[in-house]
Chain A
Amino acid sequence: MSNEMNEEVDGRQPVRQPQDPLAAEGSPTEPKPPPLPNIMPEPFSAQDLRRAVTRPQLLAEYVLGSKERLRSTLSGGKAIWALAGLLMAASVLSTIPYGMLSPVGSPWKVAALFTGSLLICFPCLYMFGQFLGLGLSVARSLALALIVTSTAGLFTFAFSPIIWFITFSVEAVPQSPVSPRHLSVFLLGLSLLLGVVQIDRCLREPDALSRRFPHVLLLVAPWLVLLVFITYRMARLLGVL
């Protein structure tokens, strides 16, 4: 367990996991340093997730700032459907202000762009996971995939005042090389990129999730390429590009 991870764990009671028996193996003549304590953050409980419904400001903390707890919930948490539901709500609802205030001009188009593309790509993530023997359930696969769209959605929410100001202050001229529409595409692309970075950060740490699903990154990496491609196609279809 990296120090960084321990440093980021919030004030909750850590759950100690049994030590890996393989860690004790080795040459009897060479004394090995004692293994680091394996502290795993507590997964999100249904109560935690319900609290985020009544206090939406917790969403940012859960989705962006608690990757250890997200990992922990994905690897063995019980409230996995609740987490998937919350991430789905964050993915859809947080994009509404951006859709309304940007040149996209429709409250549902950004949700359709991110979450719609994800729903198109989701069945193959799940089925390939089953074929490759990763053992991710539907709920876990969905919650994992929704990390991308919920992070992207939250960032579009954060960028909505900026894109509103750009739309308000920049005259949209058809022949302009940098129009509000181009800048909106840039901000949407940046949001999606941050979503991809967030899922990568969630999967890269060597912890319970990677032990339970050791090759999940090998499945998710090409799936992300597919997701980005479908999102691009969806953007063209919706007239966002």
Chain B
Amino acid sequence: MRRSLLTMLLGSAVYGFAVGSQHSFRLGEWNILKFPLLLLATSLLCTLAYYLLAQFITRRLSFGDVIRLAFRAFADTSLLLASLSPVCFFLARTITQPDGEELNEYPMFLGLNVLFIALCGTTAVVRQAGRLLKLHKLSLARSVMIVTAWLGVSLFAGGQCAWYMRPFFGVRSINHLQFMEQSRPDYRGARSFYEAVYHLVNPPPLPKDYRNHGNEH
């Protein structure tokens, strides 16, 4: 358990620094704190839900088992992300940064990181299902149900945590970044992760001054 926690904190700090350095080393340093905090907060907020969902699906997992499994999944994700950190760092420092006219290769960097996080998360979840199958002798269907339920809860709570703690990377021309944007609206006016997802599905018109967002401090 202690080892999982340490792996989670270290791995996510390394990855956080790598992606943050795309904007500046200062953001990278902030990410050394923010990424581990993000995973820790998400796991703490979701612990009760993880346990009750596990009880709902099978009673073979004790509270201790659930905590251990949840922290292991986060530790696995962090470790996998840390292994991609050299790639991220290389890309962060070499992409064509956005300028006054174009975003250039910044969207590719964002997209790649979303892909990396999804890939690492999925790999950790598949490994978790394997653990449930082998160590706890659960059926495949139950293992998949448990990890899917845990993933859903983690996304629901973790998405808002990430929103609250943003930015983790950003456009270099925006100089005055805050440590955490908290509930400050984004360029489309979304004040939460859920509203941002809603705006993806049903995009509102962009405000006239959206280009200035982030530079008004």
Interface residues of A (CB under 8 A from B): 4, 8, 10, 57, 60-61, 64-66, 151, 154-155, 157-162, 165-166, 169-171, 173, 176-178, 182-183, 194, 198
Contact = CB atoms under 8 A, between A and B. Distances in A.
A161 B156 contact: no
B108 to A, nearest CB: 29
B44 A169 contact: no
A166 B52 CA distance: 20
B195 A178 contact: yes
Contact of A162 (B49, B51, B55, B191): B49
B191 A171 contact: yes
Contact of B58 (A8, A171, A177, A183): A8
B59 A65 contact: yes
Contacts of B202: 177
B59 A158 contact: no
Contacts of A183: 194
Interface centre among A4, A60, A151, A155 (most CB of B within 10 A): A60
Contact of A65 (B45, B56, B153): B56
Interface in B34-91: 41, 44-49, 51-53, 55-56, 58-60, 63
29 contacts: A8-B58, A8-B59, A10-B59, A60-B55, A64-B55, A64-B56, A65-B56, A65-B59, A151-B56, A158-B52, A159-B48, A159-B49, A161-B46, A161-B47, A162-B153, A162-B156, A162-B157, A165-B157, A165-B161, A169-B160, A169-B182, A169-B183, A171-B183, A171-B192, A176-B191, A178-B192, A178-B194, A178-B198, A198-B56
B116 interface: no
Contacts of A160: 48
> In terms of DSSP, what is the predominant structure of the interface of chain A?
helix
> In terms of DSSP, what is the predominant structure of the interface of chain B?
helix
A166 B192 CA distance: 9
Contacts, number: 84
Contact of B55 (A65, A171, A177): A65
A4 B41 CA distance: 35
Given A66-B59, A170-B183, A60 B52 contact: yes
Given A8-B59, A65-B58, A162-B157, A169 B192 contact: yes
Contacts of B187: none
Nearest to A69: B59
A38 B51 CA distance: 31
Interface in B156-197: 156-157, 160-161, 163-164, 182-183, 191-192, 194-195, 197
Interface string B104-147: 00000000000000000000000000000000000100000000
A64 to B, nearest CB: 4
Contact of A177 (B44, B45, B163, B195): B195
A64 B195 contact: no
Given A170-B183, A170-B192, A161 B45 contact: yes
A165 B192 contact: no
Contact of B52 (A64, A176, A178): A64
Contacts of A173: 191
Closest CB pairs A-B (n = 3): A65-B59, A64-B55, A178-B194
Contacts of B45: 161-162, 165
Contacts of B164: 169
Contacts of B192: 166, 169-171, 176, 178
A173 B184 CA distance: 12
Contacts of A162: 45-46, 49, 153, 156-157
Contacts of A4: 139
A66 B50 CA distance: 17
B159 to A, nearest CB: 10
Contacts of A182: 194
B160 A158 contact: no
A191 to B, nearest CB: 10
Nearest to B138: A7
Contacts of A158: 48-49, 51-53
A186 B63 CA distance: 26
A160 B47 CA distance: 11
